[in-house]
């Protein structure tokens, strides 16, 4: 498996991206991986997924990228609009660069929320979509599971705060209000349901398992529980189970 870092440039942005591939001339299909809150393009979950896929499919590629304000991205203010712009730009780049319509999405947590937000607003540009532990209730996840009481208090006073896990992300009160206004659970995804799979660990400590299951049932989306898996799928065996489900759903 080979790796290559590159930038996708456009009006007002330069998206730091990474390509996993076996033979760049053989690429006929690609998976766009969208990381979670506080994540980045070099995350281990994306690398493990790419390694699994590329060992069996030399004509495939996996593309990851830093979301706005994440990783090496230079933006200072996190906006949902910018996040959706990045997803669209990466998808367009992959389709143009490799001359293929076989573009798939694999997104986790906040990334799952963003992909759902994107297809709700602009339609689905992907052949199929896999969501692992999608934060369908992202407002509650951020305000109740990720932020501390002190951070919530600071935001209530309209002061930006740095929140997150391994890497802290600066957010504003406006961003939190935008998340609250964009409640994915209130949107209808039946028009996309046949092309989506949701995989969720039963021991997820960040995004409630029941919220994800209810969303899938509400929209007739295929839902696959992974018994005992936490939010990050730290158990390699459980992660591999999720990957196999995803690759099978993609019909690679």
β pairing state of 196-201 and 103-108: unpaired
Per-residue pLDDT at 252: 85
pLDDT tens-digit series, residues 126-154: 999 999 999 999 999 998 888 888 888 88
Which pLDDT tens digit goes with each residue over 61-104?
Answer: 999 999 999 999 999 889 999 999 999 999 999 999 999 999 99
Instruction: Quickly state the pLDDT bin for 241 (edges 50, 70, 90).
Output: very high
Q: What is the pLDDT of residues 152-163, one digit of tens each?
A: 888 888 888 888
Average pLDDT, whole number, for the chain? 94
């Amino acid at each position: 498996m080979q790796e290559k870092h590159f930038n996708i440039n456009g009006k007002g942005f330069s998206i730091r991206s990474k390509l996993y591939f076996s033979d760049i001339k053989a690429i006929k299909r690609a998976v766009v991986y969208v990381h979670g809150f506080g994540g980045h393009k070099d995350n281990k979950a994306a690398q493990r997924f790419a390694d699994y896929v590329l060992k069996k499919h030399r004509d495939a590629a996996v593309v990851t990228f830093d979301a706005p304000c994440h990783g090496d991205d230079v933006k200072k203010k996190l906006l949902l609009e910018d996040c959706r712009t990045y997803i669209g730009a990466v998808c367009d780049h992959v389709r143009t660069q490799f001359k293929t319509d076989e573009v798939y999405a694999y997104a986790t947590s906040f990334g799952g929320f963003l992909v759902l937000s994107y297809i709700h607003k602009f339609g689905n540009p992907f052949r199929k979509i896999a969501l692992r532990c999608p934060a369908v209730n992202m407002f509650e996840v951020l305000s109740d599971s990720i932020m501390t009481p002190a951070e919530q208090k600071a935001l209530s006073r309209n002061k930006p705060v740095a929140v997150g896990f391994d890497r802290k992300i600066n957010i504003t009160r406006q961003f939190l209000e935008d998340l609250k206004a964009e409640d994915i659970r209130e949107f209808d995804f039946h028009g996309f349901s046949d092309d989506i799979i949701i995989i969720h660990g039963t021991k997820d400590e960040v995004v409630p398992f029941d919220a994800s299951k209810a969303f899938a049932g509400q929209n007739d989306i295929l839902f696959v529980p992974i018994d005992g898996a936490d939010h990050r799928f730290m158990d390699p065996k459980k992660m591999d189970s999720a990957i196999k489900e995803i690759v099978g759903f993609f019909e690679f």
